[in-house]
Structure formats: C-alpha cells, structure tokens
Structure 1
Amino acid sequence: MLYRIAESADWEQARETGFFASPDLDMDGFIHASERHQILETARRYYQGHEGLMLLEIEEAALAAAGLRVEREWAESRQEYFPHVFAPVPLEAIRRTWPFKATAAGEFQLPEELEGI
C-alpha cells in the first residue's frame, strides 16, 4: 500500500471528480506518496499546523491495473526512496481513509489499523 496525506480541499475535489490530484502533480509532474514507515516523518516535516488533513491508503496494484505509472525515486533530503504516482489517482484505488491530525503536543500518530504493520 501507498499513503498520501491529503489537504481537505484536495480530498473534497477528489470526492466530486472521482480522482485524487494535488498541486504537486501540476508542479512536479507526479503525486508524492509514502510507504507506511515514512508517513509520520513526512507529516512532521510538511504538515505541521495544517487542519482538516486526511490520510489516504492507496492500493498500488489497483494503480497498475488502471495503467498508472508508479516509480520510487530517491529523495536526497531523506536518504530514502519514495513512491511517486504520475497521474490522478482514481477513487477506486483508495482503499481506506482516516482523519489525520496532530495531537495537542503537535505530534502525528498513525491510525490504529496501521500500527504494528
């Protein structure tokens, strides 16, 4: 599975159009995604102070079946490979979603279903 932290406006648009896209698709040519173990550090670095976030779980096999290209590319700043999706994600490929917000102390936590996987 791949994961994407989504801004509320992007998620609402996806629910209206049937496809998830975010500004990075236009800016970078792909949608940034994460593996499960990368979610919390991504949230800490890029989503502090954001309200109304959703965590999307995306089935990579469903993306492949829809003909979408996914590549793992090296992120020098994190010293890890990250999955990039090179087209809008059809809602059928999004298996689960969770509200994703920081605790009062400002730390993000994974949904219970993702703990220990």
Structure 2
Amino acid sequence: MIYHFCRRSDYSSDAELYINETLSTQGFIHCSPRDHVHVPATLRARGQPDLVVLEIDETRLPKPPVWEDGDPPDPDGRLFPHVYGPIPTAAVVAVHDLPPRPDGSFAPL
C-alpha cells in the first residue's frame, strides 16, 4: 500500500479518477509509505484541519509507482512513491482522517 494526503474536498469516491494538481505541474502525484505520510503532510499542510489520507493499493494502478527522491530530498535518503498518471478511485481501498495535533503537526497513521 501507498498513501497520499489531500483535502477532503479534493477527493470523491464517486469520481472515476483522482487527479491532484501536481500531476499537471510536476507530472506525477506524490505519495508516501504509511510510516512517513505524516512528514510531508506536516511540511506542506501544517495545521490544515480538513485532510484525509488515501490508502492506495498500488497493484490496482495502471502503472506501478516510481520510487524517487522526495521534494525536498529526505536527509536519510528515503525514497517516495510517485504515481505518473491519475489514480483510479478503484485503487483507493480506504480513506483515513488526518487531524492536526495542537501544534499543527500530524501524527503517524
């Protein structure tokens, strides 16, 4: 499984595909392994109260994710899964709430 955080209003299970703005600006959708999704969420969306995490079964994607450096690169050399295309909602097996902690950071899933 791979994970992607987004605003609740940006994801609809009724749509056939999920498309994030980074697909058009960077050519891929940023994802994370389960144990690390809270790190980019805290970096990019600190304190945002309306986030969810999409749990994605990568075997249901049209193409497998590509594991590459993050943006910025992880100081420990950790790689992140990038999805080069829209994500079929059939690949999203669960949607988890991601509430911020009092300091605005996010806890691990």
Q: Return structure 1 stretches of 4+ with deviation > 3 angstroms.
A: none
Does 2:86 match 1:105?
A: no
Amino acid at match of 1:4: H
Among 64, 70, 73, the residue aligned to 2:68: 73
Unaligned runs of 5+ in 2: none
Amino acid at match of 1:2: I
Aligned residue in 2 for 1:37:
35
1:68 shift after superposition: 2.4
Q: Percent identity?
A: 26
Aligned residue in 1 for 2:2:
2
Counterpart mapping for 1:14-93 below 5 A: 14-63=12-61, 67-75=62-70, 77-78=73-74, 79-93=77-91
Amino acid at match of 1:7: R
Distance in structure 1 (CA, Å) of the matches to 2:57 and 2:35: 16
Q: Which one has more relative contact order, counting CA pairs under 8 Å at least 6 apart?
A: 2
- Is the contact made by 2:47 and 2:101 (CA closer than 8 Å) also made in structure 1? no
Distance in structure 1 (CA, Å) of the matches to 2:13 and 2:67: 26
Query: What is the TM-score normalised by the length of structure 2?
Result: 0.86
Query: What is the TM-score normalised by the length of structure 1?
Result: 0.80
